[in-house]
Structure 1
Amino acid sequence: MVPDEQELTGGNASGRVVRIGNTVRKPWLEKSAAVQDYLSALRSSGVDVPRPLGRDDGGRNVFEYVDGVLALEELPLGHEDLLRVGRMIREIHDASEAFVIPDPVGWNLLLPAEAPDLMCHNDLAPCNLVRGDRWVFIDWDGAGPSTRLWDLAYAAQSFAMLFDGQPVEEAAARLRAVVDGYQADDTLRAELPAAMARRTKAMLDLLESAHGTGFQPWADMYINGHGEHWRGAAQYVRQHQSAWEQALHR
């Protein structure tokens, strides 16, 4: 470690991440060049995302450091904040329409969408939203081909806190706020509850499979609380699907 490196913690699968001045340095991955191009395209469309800064002398992936507090530390977000989150996700998706996926095959995404047709973040969750002078989604390492529905399903479920133990009526109101902010049409609203159930179950399946095969870091995450969390979330989202349908119906 060089003297001006500050190790950053909190990520689950990004490898060693450090801050140097106003930059973040991460391991360079096979798809990093495509992701940097994607971020450049979003910025050119007016979307506020971390500025991609290429590779450093050590071959690391370099991005702008965005100062602020993670939304994860401020949950539950209020109604107006959730509307804003929904608008941010819609802005990202709309801008992504102009980005041509370089190679739809071979991305090896952990939780792939059916018939991917849009470049997406794939982890738009409170742990990746920095709030300060700017509101910016960070940690784009997992970006890749997906769909609006699959990307929104995870984001809406996580920001609405559709987790075991949450009062259903309050969770449904949060879900409605995110989706209203996104200005989802009737088709997307109708498809979202089932998609959220599939997405939470897919996350649980990934963790259970990793636990059985030793696939890291997911195998350790399974036994360190993530398995229990996603088992409860999958059951909760499926059990109350009618509440989500009612909340999203216009």
Structure 2
Amino acid sequence: MRVGNTVRKPWLATTEHTVAYLRALRQRGIDVPEPHGRDEQGRLTLDFVPGVLAMDDAPVDVEVVQAVGALVRSIHDASAGLPIPDGWDVLLPAEQPDLLCHNDLAPWNLVIDGDRLVFIDWDGAGPSTRLWDLAYAAIAFGHLFPDADAQASAARLTALLDGYRADPALRSALPAAMVQRAAAMHDLLKRSHETGREPWGSLYVDGHGPHWLATAEYIDQHARDWGRAVAPTSPH
């Protein structure tokens, strides 16, 4: 909840790691909410970031998507070399994680205030890879969802990767990773429903489960569109 110019959130088992990560990113020049430790009720206290959520204007304009790509690249570059603590569990583990990442880079977690873009809600941060983190951002900011026009989504995907300055290897690996990332989201929700794990179990039956299954199928069906979209448009 918001309290004045701060936001208060539950202190989770991973919050100590998350706070250290945010502070390290700030020291490396990344604009993220500043953490202030625990309040009198034991909650995490963070600076409130003014602005509007990008999801309020989704699908996001191509120009903004390109700026998002540059921001994600700066976060990944700033995260390089930071130590990865043992036992830091994440919802959707990447194979051979080698980088601390946000893990939920999406319009519902991006605040826009003029030219300022700030990712919030770092609670799911933890070990991952550039590819796995970028795959989710590509789905969300590319608006690679079943109700979308594939050509418009492909243009946003190109903009994201151009902003990120993605190299050929990352580009070529991305289409398959996007399918895997969407399918992993569906599988997480389905398992959570079966085991009673909240809030993901309820999200599964509230429509999120079928949405992510359809999203994985949609991304797979339009593989040719994404293959053209990820092709380098300039030297990298």
What is residue 109 of structure 1 aligned with on the other side?
90
What is residue 57 of structure 1 aligned with on the other side?
40
Deviations 1:197-246 (A, max 9, x none): 10000001111111222211111101111112112111101111121011
SS of residue matched to 2:197? coil
What is residue 99 of structure 2 aligned with on the other side?
118
Pick one of 80, 84, 94 that aligns with 2:77. Answer: 94
Q: How does 1:12-161 map to 2 (within 5 A)?
A: 18-103=1-86, 106-133=87-114, 134-161=116-143
Question: What is the count of residue pairs matched by the alignment?
Answer: 231
What is residue 238 of structure 1 aligned with on the other side?
220
Alignment partners' CA distance in 2, 1:71 and 1:222? 24
SS of residue matched to 1:206? helix
Pick one of 160, 176, 196 that aligns with 2:158. Answer: 176
SS of residue matched to 2:45? strand
8 Å CA contact 2:89, 2:126 repeated in 1: no
| Deviation (angstroms), 1:167 | 1.2
| Deviation (angstroms), 1:29 | 1.0
| Deviation (angstroms), 1:165 | 2.0
Alignment partners' CA distance in 2, 1:224 and 1:116? 31
| Deviation (angstroms), 1:173 | 0.7
Pick one of 147, 167, 182 that aligns with 1:165. Answer: 147
Q: Which amino acid aligns with 1:245?
A: G
Give the 4+ runs in structure 1 shifted more than 4 A: none
When the two chains are superposed, the root-mean-square deviation of aligned CA atoms in Å is 1.0
SS of residue matched to 2:36? strand
| TM-score between both structures, scaled by the size of structure 1 | 0.90
Alignment partners' CA distance in 2, 1:35 and 1:214? 26
SS of residue matched to 2:134? helix
| TM-score between both structures, scaled by the size of structure 2 | 0.95
